[in-house]
Amino acid sequence: MAQIELIGICKKYKEETVIQDLNLTIRDGSFTVLVGPSGCGKSTTLRMVAGLERQTAGDILIDGQRVNDTPPGLRDVAMVFQNYALYPTMTVRGNIEFGLKNRGVSRKERERLISDISEIVGLGPYLDKKPQNLSGGQRQRVALARAMVKQPKVFILDEPLSNLDAKLRNQMRTELIQLHERLGTTFVYVTHDQVEAMSMGDEIVVMNEGAVQQADSPMKLYEQPANLFTAQFIGTPAMNIMKVGDIKGLRVQPESGAYHVGFRPEHAQINPDTPVEGLVLEGDILTRESLGAEHIYQIRSKAGAFFVKTFLKPLVTAERVRIAVPHGHLYYFSLNGSRVETSGGANEKTPSRQLIAGGV
Amino acid sequence: MTVWERLRPYSMVAPAIIVFAMFFIYPIFYMMYLSLFDWNFVSPTKTFVGIQNFVDLLSEPDFRKVLSNTTLYTVLTVTLTTGLSLFMAIWLNRSGFFYGLVQGAIFSPHIISLVSISLLWSWLMDPEYGLLNWVIGLFGFGKLEWLSHPSTSLISLVIVAVWKGLGYNTLVFIAGLQSIPQDIYEAASLDRSRPWTTFTRLILPMLSPTIFFLVIINLIGSFQVFETIAIMTQGGPVNSTNTLVYYIYEAGFRFFKIGYASAAGVILLFIVGILTIVYFRLLSSRVHYR
């Protein structure tokens, strides 16, 4: 169990700066997910924590100890690799045992640990097989067992589920959450999949272009995105973003600096029965995606195309619809992308304003 | 099924099979046939002598010397080439101008003809005027006889063979090393594996197909060494470098004892065949294929 602190981390590859002044604290015992588009530096950050790569500047602390010059094996960190990185020349038992042998764990103790671990991950019958004779899910379990058996302070997982098929991925996701609860160890998990991040992490760190965009709990990220990037990264489909100036009737306080307005597809109402105070648009439905319980519409308005998601409602067949989003579900962002607070004219509760606000 | 449909597959492979049969199968059987005769290459009559050629060969002390020379040469060449090139590969398996330069330099002997190499090394190893003796003289050592003394002649030939084979073997080893995914090394470092443990427990087993391949081709190649001997020593001094193929060549094309030479050829075929089979049987089960 350990808290991880990254202080002023920079990483450069020759001339190219990958990470610039990264400051991050990963809580002891948390399931922290680093998420972001490819090339955002999340894997590099993870590898620096593991000691597989050296930061150009800054300090890394694990459990209060500076580990800048500590080799990977002595950091008390275990890692699960994307391609599992199992030792192909060894059996499953050999793979799990290797780290213990190198630590000088006695034979008796090794056997006890291996039988315990293989029971937890369900590898008992496969202990004497070579990794290449196992399925993807089984290999994944071997990789987990190899990491777990060392009882590390920190677990590091680098996109461990990306090589599995969708069904197995869901199953392993649940198992990993349970495993984390059982072990109580700090988990640091990297993924580019925001759904995976939202469903697994209790702390999510959204990264882009080598910088932390927001570090928060999943619900906070969803409800209170700190900036345009996070707002658009979390959620499927992404948050709809429009320019305030393109929407007639939407009044914002000019001093607030609001340049963009955003709303989540699931917060928009199609042809509301009662008048809604907030953003109102009119547009044509371009596409309809029906997933059973939910429908996703792509709608073109004069302010731009956007998505609307409805739950457990009949499919809208009309060509032209009116869309309304209540004030409480509108997000405003400045020109540089940071979130701004504005009353957005909510205090002018006049029905006339309500009528003016509409699709241009 | 029409006749053509039946014949089509055979007709497709026929060209390859015909060439193979003409230049490989037929000569082998003809050699076996000739080994039972006494013939001087030109006389119209071949005298059938049964296994007399084999009896003569095996009771000939020179032939036993030839066999032991060949074995010693092969063992030394194969172990030195494989061992040194593995060492070189591990050292050179990184990027950088210097490493590329060394790789290119040690590979260049591979593309030079053996005749040139043999002449070159004959000069280098000249006891009076050779560069090698001059260099070791600088360090205060006495002159070596190299090719001209029975105690050093075979090892001198081994040096040339290792020098020529090193670059190619290193290149194959580097390719083998590069096929090992980087994250295996990373996983090993997280498992606190010491470099030597990583080498013996992970790298060597993962390189075993490469080692297997290189040993077998080096083994077969060394057993059939000819050019360097023909040019540098002609089997001398006092038979110290006479090997099987050179012995066959002399028997057949200098003394025109075709039957006798063929019998030696049959023995060579037999030895190489047995070696290959034993090698595959014994070791292929221990090779790790991905």
Distance between start and end Cα atoms, chain A: 57
In the structure encoding, which two tokens stand for residue A275, read together?
């008048």
The full set of domains in chain A, from first to last, is 4-229 (3.40.50.300), 236-356 (2.40.50.140)
Nearest residue, CB atoms, A87 vs list B184, B189, B194: B184
Question: What pLDDT, on the 0 to 100 scale, is given for residue A271?
Answer: 87
Average pLDDT over residues A314-330: 88
In the structure encoding, which two tokens stand for residue B238, read together?
């006092």
> Looking at the DSSP assignment, which residues form a beta bridge with residue A305?
A300
Instruction: Report if residue B181 sits inside a domain.
Output: yes
Compute the distance between CA of residue B158 and CA of residue B112 in angstroms, rounded to an integer: 17
Nearest residue, CB atoms, B202 vs list A73, A74, A89: A89
> Which residue out of A44, A89, A113, A151 would a mutagenesis test of the B interface target, given it has the greatest number of B Cβ atoms within 10 Å?
A89
Please indicate whether, in this complex, the C-beta atoms of A73 and B193 are within 8 angstroms of each other.
yes
Instruction: Report if residue B195 sits inside a domain.
Output: yes
Task: Give A72's contacts in chain B (Cβ within 8 Å).
Answer: 186, 189-190
Instruction: Report if residue B83 sits inside a domain.
Output: yes
Nearest CA in chain B to A98: B191
Instruction: Report if residue B13 sits inside a domain.
Output: no
- The answer to whether B276 faces chain A, any CB pair under 8 Å, is no
Instruction: Report if residue B45 sits inside a domain.
Output: no
* Full strand arrangement of the beta sheet holding A331-333: A240-243, A260-263, A331-333, A339-340
In the structure encoding, which two tokens stand for residue B222, read together?
């060394």
**Residue bearing tokens 């680098």:** A158
Please indicate whether, in this complex, the C-beta atoms of A81 and B206 are within 8 angstroms of each other.
no
pLDDT digits (tens, 9 = 90+) for A235-286: 888 899 988 888 877 777 777 788 889 999 999 988 888 888 888 888 999 9
Question: What pLDDT, on the 0 to 100 scale, is given for residue A351?
Answer: 39
- The answer to whether B195 faces chain A, any CB pair under 8 Å, is no
Question: What pLDDT, on the 0 to 100 scale, is given for residue B193?
Answer: 87
A151: pLDDT strictly greater than 80:
yes
Mind listing the pLDDT tens digit of every residue in chain B (290 residues)? Answer: 788 889 999 999 999 999 999 999 999 999 999 889 888 878 888 888 888 888 888 888 888 889 999 999 999 999 999 999 999 999 998 888 999 899 888 899 889 998 999 999 989 988 888 888 888 888 877 777 888 888 888 899 999 999 999 999 999 999 999 988 888 999 999 888 888 988 988 899 899 888 988 998 898 889 888 989 988 888 878 888 888 899 999 888 888 888 889 999 999 999 889 888 888 887 776 676 65
Average pLDDT over residues A68-88: 89
In the structure encoding, which two tokens stand for residue B79, read together?
């172990």
A302: pLDDT strictly greater than 70:
yes
How many C-beta neighbours within 10 Å does residue B100 have?
Answer: 12
Determine the Cα angle at A20 with ends A220 and A28, to 5°. 45
Query: Between the CA of residue A114 and those of A55, A145, A148, B189, B273, what are the distances in Å?
Result: 35, 8, 10, 20, 46
Check: CB of residue A285 under 8 Å from CB of residue A298. Answer: yes
> Which residue out of B179, B182, B189, B192 would a mutagenesis test of the A interface target, given it has the greatest number of A Cβ atoms within 10 Å?
B192
Instruction: Give A224's DSSP letter.
Output: S
Q: Are strands A154-158 and A77-80 parallel, antiparallel or unpaired?
A: parallel
Check: CB of residue A92 under 8 Å from CB of residue A127. Answer: yes
- The answer to whether A50 faces chain B, any CB pair under 8 Å, is yes
Secondary structure of A156-184 in the HEC alphabet?
Answer: EEECCCCCCCHHHHHHHHHHHHHHHHHHC
Type of residue found at A271: N
Instruction: Report if residue B10 sits inside a domain.
Output: no
Number of domains in chain B: 1
Tell me how close the Cα of A87 comes to any Cα of chain B, in angstroms.
7
* Collapsed DSSP state (helix, strand, coil) of residue B83: helix
Compute the distance between CA of residue A87 and CA of residue B202 in angstroms, rounded to an integer: 7
Q: How confident is the model at residue A187 (pLDDT cuts 50, 70, 90)?
A: very high
How many C-beta neighbours within 10 Å does residue B105 have?
Answer: 10
Compute the distance between CA of residue A204 and CA of residue A328 in angstroms, rounded to an integer: 24
Nearest CA in chain B to A150: B191
Q: How confident is the model at residue A359 (pLDDT cuts 50, 70, 90)?
A: very low
Please indicate whether, in this complex, the C-beta atoms of B183 and A81 are within 8 angstroms of each other.
yes
Question: What pLDDT, on the 0 to 100 scale, is given for residue A1?
Answer: 62
Of residues A120 and B289, which shows the higher confidence score? Answer: A120
Q: Which long-range contacts (CB under 8 A, 24 or more apart) does B106-114 make?
A: B106/B166, B106/B167, B106/B170, B107/B167, B107/B168, B107/B170, B107/B171, B108/B167, B109/B163, B109/B164, B109/B166, B109/B167, B110/B164, B110/B165, B110/B167, B110/B168, B112/B164, B114/B164, B114/B227, B114/B228
Query: Which ipTM score applies to this complex?
Result: 0.79
> Which residue out of A102, A151, A162 would a mutagenesis test of the B interface target, given it has the greatest number of B Cβ atoms within 10 Å?
A102
Compute the distance between CA of residue A156 and CA of residue A80 in angstroms, rounded to an integer: 6
Type of residue found at A126: Y
Instruction: Give A247's DSSP letter.
Output: S
Instruction: Report if residue B36 sits inside a domain.
Output: no
Query: With 0-12 CB in 10 A as exposed, 13-18 as middle and 19+ as buried, what is A312?
Result: exposed
Q: Are strands A240-243 and A65-66 parallel, antiparallel or unpaired?
A: unpaired
Closest of B226, B80, B98 to residue B166, by C-alpha? B80
- The answer to whether A88 faces chain B, any CB pair under 8 Å, is yes
Tell me how close the Cα of B279 comes to any Cα of chain A, in angstroms.
21
Against a cut of 0.90, is the pTM above it? no
Compute the distance between CA of residue A298 and CA of residue A284 in angstroms, rounded to an integer: 8
* Collapsed DSSP state (helix, strand, coil) of residue A308: strand
Tell me how close the Cα of B201 comes to any Cα of chain A, in angstroms.
8
Average pLDDT over residues A86-93: 89
Compute the distance between CA of residue A285 and CA of residue A288 in angstroms, rounded to an integer: 7
- The answer to whether B290 faces chain A, any CB pair under 8 Å, is yes
Q: What Rg do the C-alpha atoms of chain B give, in angstroms?
A: 24
Please indicate whether, in this complex, the C-beta atoms of A102 and B192 are within 8 angstroms of each other.
yes
Nearest residue, CB atoms, A98 vs list B186, B191, B288: B191
Name every residue whose Cβ is closer than 8 Å to that of residue A33 and which is 6 or more positions away in sequence.
A189, A190, A191, A196, A197, A200, A201, A203, A204, A205
Tell me how close the Cα of A277 comes to any Cα of chain B, in angstroms.
56
Task: Give A51's contacts in chain B (Cβ within 8 Å).
Answer: 189-190
Closest of A83, A81, A59 to residue A69, by C-alpha? A59
Nearest CA in chain A to B287: A89
Maximum CA extent, chain A: 82
Check: CB of residue A225 under 8 Å from CB of residue A235. Answer: no
Residue B158 lies in domain? 52-286
Question: What pLDDT, on the 0 to 100 scale, is given for residue A341?
Answer: 80
Name every residue whose Cβ is closer than 8 Å to that of residue B14 and which is 6 or more positions away in sequence.
none
Task: Give B197's contacts in chain A (Cβ within 8 Å).
Answer: 102
Compute the distance between CA of residue A158 and CA of residue A34 in angstroms, rounded to an integer: 10
Nearest residue, CB atoms, B191 vs list A83, A102, A132: A102
Tell how many helices (H) and how many strands (E) occur in chain A: 9, 19
Which CATH number belongs to the domain containing residue B187 in this structure?
Answer: 1.10.3720.10
Instruction: Report if residue B216 sits inside a domain.
Output: yes
